[in-house]
Structure 1
């Protein structure tokens, strides 16, 4: 970093810490009532039960809503934290009990950790420093001054953190290391170049088609497509900014359009609105989800934008992307001169043992195994078992290498190289999860949604919801986490507005607003430098994280603007 960048970084960190201490000592929490309505049934003992995360749970100690200390009227009188954080209550006119929760926020201060992390990413281009600084600021805001014991260790001891460690460090890193040692990726790139890829356009088109084909979305799509196409695209002289954009923008956006994946089952749980017949049952909510896909304008435009770029039509790609394309074509430099990719160069270096002959099938067969396991487990259980898929692919790659005569010592060396190559990226992912958890705890998303009022003109509601969810997802780095915050608050609000305005087609209005929340969250997640998919897209394609963010945000914003205009038009014309 330059002296100016160092100074700005230091000032940003100091201001963040000062602000955090001010919040901790001077800003009281604002407590907010929130309700979660599960689909409730009664068992043989007449107990109310519901299904959460695949397990049947029983609601206990149910009280009348008027008696609950978690009612907003009671929370407004609090001088300190409530004695209860959640309680089951009966609400008049609602079938079965509802879960009442007490959440809090610090107003606009709740956004401080995410703001510091994102600002430092832009200033210093060092995601490790940015994320850690954001975590420290968030920890100080809630009075946790022993950051390692009170924040890092508890969050890194979670199932999510362990999943990242196993999947992205051990399994993905090991698989990439084995491919680097056997030369399988280079052999695949050579085969594709000889048979299918003749230049940047065809390389990007292959990437785009794979992104559409792997429509499960999220981290699996970015990892699978990124690792598959990088050697081929490097050989075709595709800049890493182009490649990471195509990989990232055909992950979650396509999953919101071709929704035969885990998204509908997850999202429908947040869509129940008391008294709304077309959202009454799980089947109704799933039908509502799929009926709303025609309004997923951002997902459609994002995927079309990557197709246009793949076809070398760059009018809507933005100046930073065009600059990256020109650099790669004219100089052969796939990264900017000052780029610092978060994946190690060792993963892309060829270090094949003597007398070992590489073959492109060593790359394809593990991929087929990975996809087959993921698809089979998705069909069988409704959720793809990603760890099984990557574990099976790694095991098959090792078996093939040893079967072809590779020494155990060379195989272990390849695994070690792979693990070393993704250590930094894995740490960044774990820190991203931690700052996302802190942002959620501080209630930034709840505060932003609270800014909405019931007096909004109905035609501007979709765009307002889009903007709010874009900010929430960008600040927290997660679309699914944004859904959990936004949908339970937004959908009842939209229904009230539809009734107050006496709209002729309230269900269509609900679909438009639903699509705005769904797609706004995808945009924010996709463009956030603290998002796991953004980080993984950069890692697997060998791109500098902030170069990826800065080049992707322009075409993604074009897609978001066009989507917002269409949602407004549809609200005016169709409802």
Structure 2
């Protein structure tokens, strides 16, 4: 069977490359107007400016919208790419907007993401699947020099470099030192003696930590997964269960307990001229919080993991039930064919002779990590995750040295930690690149453009949910999906509310907002090319595709229930 699947995968890749060559040479790019609204301030001397990422940016030139070469009317007449990449415009209502056109190749825009996912499922080798998707996308964009035109420019981006610094050096180093000092095992022993008495309590501790670390995304995934791995392994909880709990209490809880960076980011994407309850930044943040009760998918996802933690597997699906039974009956944490995303250097302690591990060597760095992340969010507006992990790493190393471990032994633990996560870090890097490629080829833009303003209002929330689910699943990012979908979906929702004279337009907008927010979370959580999916598998020691397949059923069930509720509320109460 593996030989047959590999042959099918090879043929699929060759066919995808041929299709990419066809797209590059025969499918013209379809340019679409993309407008971004900011809170533009006008000074006393008529200088225009706006604030982006806590920096004030001056607007040099503004032109009339109708005369801009980047509006849709002019873009429709183009035979090639527009000369300008962006331009500030002002419309007839004196609303300022930044136009940044983007293009798509129609349904062909989905090709890089589709071939990546197909190869992931066929080969169970995410590394080769991601590389294949990048190759296909690069050919479509005409970037044949894969290293200099695709990989290196993406690695040079600040966000990618920060990810590699955090997950390769800081996370890997911290895990390695904890393995060398035996701190993680000491913590597992302590929790087992005092709190964790079996599989259920181990899973409940994991669920509680997932809710506690409500910053969401990669931060929550890494914190929870790293913390609970040793105690869950000791309690013999299957890795599929653990990775599902960690993943489903990361982004879902962040969109419900939204005292984090999410509202500040999202509010900048949902401004609509003339809509009073979205007029100012404060209004839009308040709108975010008022919409939280309608985040049905996130609520159901978190409740689903709680039920699993309580050993109620009715809604968990057969894969998770089989994994739970396997761990209970045979003490096997992984399936026989699994390839866990954790190297042997991190799977057991390598404590030097005479060194006595202590639980505080795990707890104090973890408290330091959490305190810095939360405090930096409170006082600086965003959690400084790199600071937090660097401080925890430094404290762990210093405690080991002060307890008598030699510097050479600490460095050995650090280097073993790097070895343990280097493969997963490469996959993470490639996942970021394929997400960037998918965005450039216009996959998300194409999916959103399929919508029409003639839709019945009551089916718009579930349509937005399905589209954002596909976009996020294809690109592996929820925040990237927000940037694509919100500026298109929210004006569309408002236009439908006005055209069809809805009695409760604000409620309708909340339902549409929640469907985009939650659909993106679902797609990101379930995508095999998402950083949170990869990190959930990596930190819990699970096989990536086992994690993806096992969490699909409960996630789809939660999404289906959410879509039904949005539709019913729309139909009966809007």
Task: Give the TM-score band, short-chain normalised.
Answer: over 0.9
- Listed as ranges, the gaps of 5+ residues in structure 2 are none
For 1:51 and 1:277, locate their aligned partners in 2 and report how far apart those are by CA, in whole Å.
21
Correspondences of 1:80-229 after superposition (within 5 Å): 80-95=80-95, 97-229=96-228
Correspondences of 1:115-514 after superposition (within 5 Å): 115-514=114-513
For 2:368 and 2:62, locate their aligned partners in 1 and report how far apart those are by CA, in whole Å.
49
Q: Which residue of 2 aligns with 1:551?
A: 550
Residue 45 of structure 1, CA deviation: 2.8
Residue 93 of structure 1, CA deviation: 1.4
For 1:121 and 1:54, locate their aligned partners in 2 and report how far apart those are by CA, in whole Å.
39
The two structures have a TM-score, normalised by structure 1, of 0.99
For 1:457 and 1:53, locate their aligned partners in 2 and report how far apart those are by CA, in whole Å.
38
**Segments ≥4 residues shifted beyond 6 Å:** none
Deviation readout 1:256-310 (Å, 9 max, x if unpaired): 0000000000000001001101100001001100000010000100000000000
For 1:433 and 1:44, locate their aligned partners in 2 and report how far apart those are by CA, in whole Å.
43
Corresponding position: 1:30 with 2:17: no
Residue 94 of structure 1, CA deviation: 4.1
Aligned to 2:51, what secondary structure does the other structure show? strand
Q: Which residue of 2 aligns with 1:17?
A: 17
For 2:485 and 2:47, locate their aligned partners in 1 and report how far apart those are by CA, in whole Å.
30
Residue 254 of structure 1, CA deviation: 0.3
Deviation readout 1:235-269 (Å, 9 max, x if unpaired): 11100000000000000000000000000000000
For 1:573 and 1:363, locate their aligned partners in 2 and report how far apart those are by CA, in whole Å.
53
Residue 326 of structure 1, CA deviation: 0.8
For 1:165 and 1:485, locate their aligned partners in 2 and report how far apart those are by CA, in whole Å.
25
Aligned to 1:335, what secondary structure does the other structure show? coil
For 1:60 and 1:485, locate their aligned partners in 2 and report how far apart those are by CA, in whole Å.
26
Residue 440 of structure 1, CA deviation: 0.7
For 1:189 and 1:248, locate their aligned partners in 2 and report how far apart those are by CA, in whole Å.
21
Aligned to 2:33, what secondary structure does the other structure show? strand
For 2:180 and 2:304, locate their aligned partners in 1 and report how far apart those are by CA, in whole Å.
36
The two structures have a TM-score, normalised by structure 2, of 0.99
Q: Which moved more, 1:51-60 or 1:116-125?
A: 51-60
Please tell me the root mean square deviation across aligned C-alpha atoms, in Å: 0.8
Residue 573 of structure 1, CA deviation: 2.1
For 2:442 and 2:255, locate their aligned partners in 1 and report how far apart those are by CA, in whole Å.
26
Q: Which residue of 2 aligns with 1:7?
A: 7
For 1:299 and 1:84, locate their aligned partners in 2 and report how far apart those are by CA, in whole Å.
40
Aligned to 1:422, what secondary structure does the other structure show? helix
Aligned to 1:350, what secondary structure does the other structure show? coil
For 1:348 and 1:399, locate their aligned partners in 2 and report how far apart those are by CA, in whole Å.
23
For 1:562 and 1:371, locate their aligned partners in 2 and report how far apart those are by CA, in whole Å.
34
For 1:2 and 1:293, locate their aligned partners in 2 and report how far apart those are by CA, in whole Å.
45
Q: Which residue of 2 aligns with 1:55?
A: 55
Residue 345 of structure 1, CA deviation: 1.8
Residue 44 of structure 1, CA deviation: 3.7
Q: Which residue of 1 aligns with 2:66?
A: 66
Aligned to 1:567, what secondary structure does the other structure show? helix
For 2:122 and 2:397, locate their aligned partners in 1 and report how far apart those are by CA, in whole Å.
42
Deviation readout 1:328-350 (Å, 9 max, x if unpaired): 11111100111111221211212
Deviation readout 1:103-157 (Å, 9 max, x if unpaired): 1000000000000111111110101101011000000001111111110111111
